[in-house]
Amino acid sequence: MESDNNLKAFANDIRIETIKCLKKRGFGHVGGCMSIVETLSVLYGSVMKYDAKNPQWEDRDYFILSKGHGGPALFATLALKGFFPVNWLDTLCEPKTLLPSHCDRLRTPGVDVSTGSLGQGLSVADGIAKGFKIKGKDNWVYVILGDGECAEGQNWEAAQFASHFKLSHVVAFVDWNKRQVDGYINDVMSLGDIEGKFKAFGWYAATVSGSDTEAIKTAIENAKKEHGEMPIAIVLDGVKGSGVPEFEEMFDNHFFNLDAELADKAIARLEA
């Protein structure tokens, strides 16, 4: 188990490599990449069971980035953990790349499920958890959903299913960064009390700061102690673009052309 200091440092490295990767391409889904960095650090730095040298290892835990547009942050994490060389990050979206903008399991070592059409990941997580159960395995499946993505009704079908079948080894994170493409969630389509919704569906649910590795790790540990047979939802209270004030303050920070100078400034600050 990594110490919390190491998880913080790992998150910082993920953020730096993600920005470098997006800077090379010149544009991308910057905001939604930034807000999942700490969770990826905790999962790949301490919580999940995997073998970077054998991504298809049968006894691994599975991970699904249901908000598939956050691909670059996951790719940076996988590269730093040795699933593939870090210099692959320079090939994002290039012809024949193994790192497309959205997660693709047939291309990228370590990606378990292809995503990009929002709203499908939680159902697939249910199926994976059910598969584990049938096989008598005690592995976990972790999934990150966007808060905008939660508008897709399929998420709530999956929530109902997981609860009915007592899929206690599903851990769903909701990246509650308050924004989607067209603006703030509350202006576009208010989502209400996310934790309360999952609870109403029979899940164990908690809310933590999405930018605090220690809090995220503790939340996962507590959930696993307390959830009984319930699936677990952890709401990540955060900011879109987090970790780089210029990104956070931009109104349209979902997808944008990443100015190289701004990227360099952000990287220098994070490296200091």
Partner 1 sequence: MFKLAYNGNFESLPITEVFSSFLGERLEKDSRTVYVDADLMALIGVRDLWKKYPDRVLNTGIMEGNMIGVASGLALTGFKPYVHSFAAFVTRRAFDQIFISAAYNKNTMHIIGSEPGIKQDYNGGTHMTFEDVAMMRTIPGAFIFDITDNAMLLSVLNATKDMQGIFYYRLPMSEIRKVYADGSEFRVGKGNILREGKDATIIVSGALVSMALEAAKLLAEEGIQVRVIDMFTIKPLDEPLVIESAKKTGIIITAENASVNGGLGEAVSRCVTENYPVYVKHVAVKEEFGEVGPESYLFERYGFTGTQLAEEVKKAIQLRSQS
Ligand X SMILES: Cc1ncc(C[n+]2csc(CCOP(=O)(O)OP(=O)(O)O)c2C)c(N)n1
Binding site for partner 1 (CB under 8 A): 27, 68, 93-97, 100-102, 104, 114-119, 148-149, 151-153, 180-183, 185, 188-189, 252
237 part of the interface to Mg ion, by CB under 5 A: no
Report 174-213 residues binding ligand X (CB under 6 A).
175, 177, 179-181
126 part of the interface to Mg ion, by CB under 5 A: no
The two three-digit tokens of residue 37, written as one number: 């960095």
Q: Choose among partner 1, Mg ion, ligand X, none what residue 31 binds, the Cβ cut-off being 5 to 8 Å by kind.
A: ligand X
Show the binding pattern over residues 39-78: x = contacts ligand X (CB under 6 A), - = does not.
Answer: ----------------------------x-x---------
Q: Residue 192 or 228: which CB sits closer to Mg ion?
A: 192
126 part of the interface to ligand X, by CB under 6 A: no
DSSP letter string, the chain = ---HHHHHHHHHHHHHHHHHHHHHHSEE-HHHHHTTHHHHHHIIIII----TT-TT-TTPPEEEESSGGGHHHHHHHHHHTTSS-GGGGGGTT-TT-S--SS--TTTSTT--S---STT-HHHHHHHHHHHHHHHT----EEEEEETTGGGSTHHHHHHHHHHHTT-TTEEEEEEE-SB-SSSBHHHH-----HHHHHHHTT-EEEEEETT-HHHHHHHHHHHHHH-TTS-EEEEEE--TTTT-HHHHH-SS-SSEE--HHHHHHHHHHHH-
**Closest separation between CB of residue 36 and ligand X, Å?**
7
240 part of the interface to ligand X, by CB under 6 A: yes
Q: Choose among partner 1, Mg ion, ligand X, none what residue 94 binds, the Cβ cut-off being 5 to 8 Å by kind.
A: partner 1
Report 160-179 residues binding Mg ion (CB under 5 A).
177, 179
**Closest separation between CB of residue 58 and ligand X, Å?**
31
**Closest separation between CB of residue 84 and ligand X, Å?**
24
146 part of the interface to Mg ion, by CB under 5 A: yes
**Closest separation between CB of residue 196 and partner 1, Å?**
18
**Closest separation between CB of residue 239 and Mg ion, Å?**
10
Which residues lie closer than 8 Å to 180 by C-beta, 6 or more apart? 146, 147, 148, 188, 254
39 part of the interface to Mg ion, by CB under 5 A: no
